[in-house]
A and B are shown apart, each in its own frame.
Chain A
Amino acid sequence: MVSGACPTCGTLVLVGEAYCEQCGHALGAAGCTACGAQAVGADGYCENCGMLQPSGRDHVEIELEVAAGVSDRGLRHSRNEDAMALTVAGTVVAGVVCDGVSTSPRPEEASQTAADTAAAALAKHLEEGADPETATREAVRLAAEAVVALALPGEDAPACTYVSAVAGGRQVTIGWVGDSRAYWLGSGSELLTGDDATPGTHMLTAWLGADAGHVMPRIRTFTPDGPGVVLLCSDGLWNCYPEPTALAAVALNATPRAAAQRLTRLALEAGGHDNITVLVIPFGQGEQAETTVVFPKEQQ
């Protein structure tokens, strides 16, 4: 269970939402995500409708003061094989999204390991004063090593994609391997990554994993010419909504968490055919209270 219908008006509501966005019905923290009844037992099943409540990675939300993310199992997969991580190093925000390769064994382990390893590496190197590009290369190298180490003799290698963003100063640095994407949403919204996949298919041409050979991330540094949002996402979102302007229309003018929730909801409403992971990192929004602390230089 990742989401359910509002018991009053039937609109799709997400786990963790306190109120229905459509009618304002109070959903209640302990209410069942499927039927809304305040009757979820200690064993995780609703005592009214029987649905097992989400746990672990089925639906995850992370929220820092400066950025937020949502990762959701979707409606058609039995588990969430996406993973995400957010970290802050001084005035710099870094985020990572990884999508486990479904045809490999234990893809959920691969993605979580890669995201955690990369985020820790980014935080460490950025705090030590490394430039974003060097930090990104190092993060990918360590994440790739960690995923390689998951492989067991006698089985195919666990594998996942990788995309990260380092947002600080006046620049955004993106690194990626595979088909998870980064977008710039603001004035001049655009796709920042190019999929490592055979065009028109989901056949990856690059990934992290023991069978991937030497991994060379693609890296791009980008200087926005105004405030906006860096969006990292797995293909569960961009398969449904590939257009930067469409994404911008939903993600801008909202708190990072609300933006991530709205984008996730869009993908669920479009069928939720894949796992959906969305990281929203506001950038250069000097006027807004939540970013003044992080970007003091931007204010002047």
Chain B
Amino acid sequence: MNRRIAIRNMALILGSVAVLPSCLNDNKGKPVVKLNHLNVDAEQESLVNELTETILPKTKTPGAKDLGINLFVFKMIDDCYDKKGQDEFMAGLKEFADAVDKKHGKPFHELTAAERTAFVNDIEKQSKDPNNKDKDSKANGFYWTVKGQTVFGYTTSKYFMTEKIVYELVPGRYNAMFPVKKKASA
């Protein structure tokens, strides 16, 4: 899909108040999402897109790209992170890309889905190992930022809040004493 249309659709999903990022050509002639603060090239953009999809792949249920969460992640980091957080994100993104290149000799988006999953699972594993010296690396920091925003975007998405849990805008009730059994069967 044309990226501009994809972004516009994402904006519709997220609410029409969103400021639409414009598309410009970067120096390499590749189309790139022009964000307000982050300076991301096409390859980096693809990396983040594929990373969100690796974290939250399309299975029997929608994945990150289906839900526009890859674009939401960019929007949040571009709009809501301060300069320091954005610099860390970019530095981590670069380190992450370098680590992928070192291991596979090609960029993240050119890996197979199985390779991407294995790469990400390694980071997840490292985080649980207190002796692993890589777990606090910039690359891993970048990963957890993307994962955090992916999860936030997903759990606050229309899909999740209408089909996975039911968010009630107007509950109309407060039952102070409610049996757990009743809740489970509800």
A binds B: no
